[in-house]
């Protein structure tokens, strides 16, 4: 395991160096989208239209913040990752067409995302779910917001972050998926050690 401090825009070379299990602290710009945001983004992109933000080299974050309006600015009260599997159906297209280099979420993603990471040079990382107050301290400010018609959590928030982390690489660009390996290990332990010890099966 290695630890990296990275800065956006993220280059393909840097991203391709990362391995599953590496820990990243990210400084720069992240853009949030949940499932409804992904759906809209994919629809726009498939019509050849542009997204409100050029996401090349940026990080895409599966998150819906709790925000507060202070004067004419927005302030993040707390923010944390949401379950990424809901975005699995969209992510290949998003990675391919936006040039985003890092996806941040929780809970893991599937083979299509892994395929996109390998092909286009991206990684999927997880942030410890639930650590929302800590993370709010890592958000410097809200740079912009789009698609507020989707509701506050589902809008596209453009955030400036400083040392956002710990982010663990769960899918790298070399074809490894940490959670899949973990499921396999767990299966082996259950079948070979836990069940025999309990006299199950």
Contact status, residue 61 vs residue 41, Cβ threshold 8 Å? no
Closest approach, Cβ 78 to another protein, in A, equals: 5
Q: Which residues bind another protein (CB under 8 A)?
A: 1, 21, 23, 63-66, 68, 77-80, 82-83, 85, 106-108, 126, 128-137, 151, 153, 166, 168, 178-179, 182-183, 185-187, 189-190, 193-195, 197-201
Active site residue 38: yes
Select the binding partner of residue 64 from another protein, ligand SF4, none (C-beta < 5 to 8 A, by kind).
another protein
Closest approach, Cβ 48 to another protein, in A, equals: 30
Q: Which of 15, 28, 33, 38 is catalytic?
A: 38
Select the binding partner of residue 9 from another protein, ligand SF4, none (C-beta < 5 to 8 A, by kind).
none
Whether the bond into 187 is cis, omega within 30 of 0 = no
Decide: is 130 part of the binding site for ligand SF4 (CB under 6 A). yes
> Which of 43, 50, 54, 129: binder of ligand SF4 (CB under 6 A)?
129
Start-to-end CA span in the chain (Å): 37
Binding residues for ligand SF4, total number by CB under 6 A: 3
Active site residues: 38
Interface residues with ligand SF4 (CB under 6 A) are: 80, 129-130
């Amino acid at each position: 395991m290695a630890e990296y401090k990275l800065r956006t825009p993220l280059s393909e070379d840097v991203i391709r160096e990362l391995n599953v299990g590496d820990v990243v602290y990210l400084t720069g710009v992240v853009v949030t989208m949940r499932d409804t945001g992904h759906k809209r983004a994919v629809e726009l992109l498939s019509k050849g239209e542009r997204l409100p933000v050029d996401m090349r080299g940026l990080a895409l974050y599966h998150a819906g913040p709790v925000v507060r309006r202070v004067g004419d600015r927005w302030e993040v009260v707390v923010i944390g990752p949401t379950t990424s599997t809901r975005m699995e159906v969209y992510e290949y297209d998003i990675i391919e067409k936006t040039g985003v280099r890092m996806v941040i979420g929780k809970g893991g993603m599937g083979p299509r995302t892994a395929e996109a990471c390998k092909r286009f040079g991206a990684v999927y990382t997880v942030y410890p779910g639930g650590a929302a107050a800590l993370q709010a301290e890592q958000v410097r400010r809200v740079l912009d917001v789009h698609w507020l018609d989707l509701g506050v959590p589902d809008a596209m928030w453009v955030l400036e972050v400083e040392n956002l982390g710990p982010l663990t690489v769960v899918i790298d660009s070399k074809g490894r998926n940490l959670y899949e390996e973990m499921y396999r290990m767990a299966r082996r332990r259950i079948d070979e050690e836990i069940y025999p010890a309990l006299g199950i099966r």
